[in-house]
Amino acid sequence: MKKLYGVIGSPIAHSMSPHIHNDAFKQMDYNAHYHAFHIEPDELEDAVKGMKALGVSGFNVTIPHKEAIIPLLDEVDEAARRIGAVNTVVNRDGVLIGYNTDGKGYVEALKEVTMLKNKRVLIIGAGGAARAIFYTLAKEGNIQIDLYNRTASKAVELIQEFSLNHLAKGISSKEAVNTMKDYDVVVQTTSVGMFPYTEESPFPLINIKEGAVFSDIIYNPIETRLLRDAKALGAVTQNGVSMFAYQAAFAFEHWTGQLPDTDRMKNIVKVQLGGISC
């Protein structure tokens, strides 16, 4: 009997997830189908009940439901509970269990372009993605992490809440611009620069550390204004395609016990976005 998986969110029509998961099911000869479900916030509780009643084997959770779904689940993994967001749900014999693969997916992607030990990292943003990335990076150890957010108090609150890294601190926009040359890795987690506002950037880049890594979790466009400016100054740059593939792969692993081909997933996303394979 074919198993059913999916993703819930709003909007959801342009999600890349069905492309990569259905391809992975096919490649691994796994009898399943993945479908995108458009669910509005006032429909979430009924949707979760429906997923359980229909025996849906697992599903992803995206904007705007990652936080709101937590009290509707039977169990929540410790990391997802600490982060305060769920992006993957497993139906285990009628018990819905929530996980967060965003942070793990991001860190795995970042390791493709740099070693993390003894690095000084700046995270831009203090929203859900920043929380997952901060939590996971901090648990790696031996990393100094600073946070910049337009609302400085949110950055400070996030750091105090986790209390995982005594070196972490919140900084202002002015500090971020003036101290950019001190960071080995800069992680952009906000929606600034996302399509269709592709010429926006969190702040101007004046000077950066030689060989610094600039990583943007946005994958549409493939190269944001921040990455374009950083590359012009000699930085190593990384877009959000790898993170998207890894978080999807770890979700797939939660559902099936098998880890799919992440390079194939990345290639599918690039083809869908621009018609160019990697």
Q: Just list the catalytic residues.
A: 66
Going by C-alpha positions, the residue among 173, 179, 145 that lies closest to residue 159 is 145
Assigned token pair, 25: 């099911």
In degrees and rounded to multiples of 5, residue 58 shows phi and psi of: 180, 160
Distance CA 238, CA 214 (A): 6
Assigned token pair, 193: 């620069």
Find the angle CA(266)-CA(24)-CA(189) to the nearest 5 degrees: 40
Q: Is the dihedral of CA 139, 143, 149, 153 positive or negative?
A: positive
* End-to-end C-alpha distance for the chain, whole angstroms: 35
Classify residue 149 as exposed, middle or buried by CB count within 10 Å of its CB (0-12, 13-18, 19+).
buried
**What type of residue is 57?**
S
**Residue-by-residue DSSP string for 240-263:** THHHHHHHHHHHHHHHHS----HH
Distance CA 7, CA 255 (A): 13
Classify residue 275 as left (phi > 0), alpha (psi -120 to 50) or beta. left
Distance CA 74, CA 61 (A): 15
SS3 228: helix
